[in-house]
Amino acid sequence: MPEQTTALTAAEWNLMECLWELAPRTGREAVDYLQKSVGWSRSTTLTMLRRMTEKGLIACETDGEVMTYRPLIRREDAAREETRSFLDRVYQGSVGLMLNAMTREQKLSRREIEELYEILRQAEEDAP
């Protein structure tokens, strides 16, 4: 699938999580899932399904009267876009500023520190 550059709203994330968890889903299955997980009404879910289909975020297939939906973007691509947007918006694109703020606010376990070291070692190897 090509990378989608459309940032998802909070509501769209809810619906995409439903489809990333299990796809395809019928409209009824999506309605039930989102009613239980976030309290959406049937009409809210159906409206979101229609709008997201129009935006090209999900695909809708009809078999008789049953409509099934599947995501057209991967979770990884959406998460990457969200991370990029957050980093630019909040930390002016600086990973260092973000890590500094995060590590000062939350105590890291030894394991998390080792994971960060490994990420940095890999980044150093990949650096031009």
Q: Please list the residues that pair with 69 across neighbouring strands.
A: 25, 60
pTM value is: 0.78
CB-CB contact of 73 with 1 (8 Å): yes
- Which pLDDT score is estimated for 13? 97
DSSP letters along the chain, please? -PPP-PPPPHHHHHHHHHHHHSSSEEHHHHHHHHHHHH---HHHHHHHHHHHHHTTSEEEEEETTEEEEEESS-HHHHHHHHHHHHHHHHHTT-HHHHHHHHHHHSPPPHHHHHHHHHHHHHHHHH--
pLDDT tens by residue, 17-70 = 999 999 999 999 999 999 999 999 999 999 999 999 999 999 999 999 999 999
Local confidence band at 79 (pLDDT 50, 70, 90 cut-offs): very high
pLDDT tens sequence across 103-127? 888 888 999 999 999 999 999 999 8
User: Which domains occur in the chain, in start order?
Assistant: 10-71 (1.10.10.10)
Q: What is the pLDDT averaged over residues 9-16?
A: 96
Q: What is the pLDDT of residue 106?
A: 87
pLDDT for residue 5: 58
Looking at residue 7, its pLDDT comes to 86
Which band of pLDDT confidence, cut at 50, 70 and 90, is reported for residue 4? very low
Q: Is the pLDDT of residue 90 over 50?
A: yes
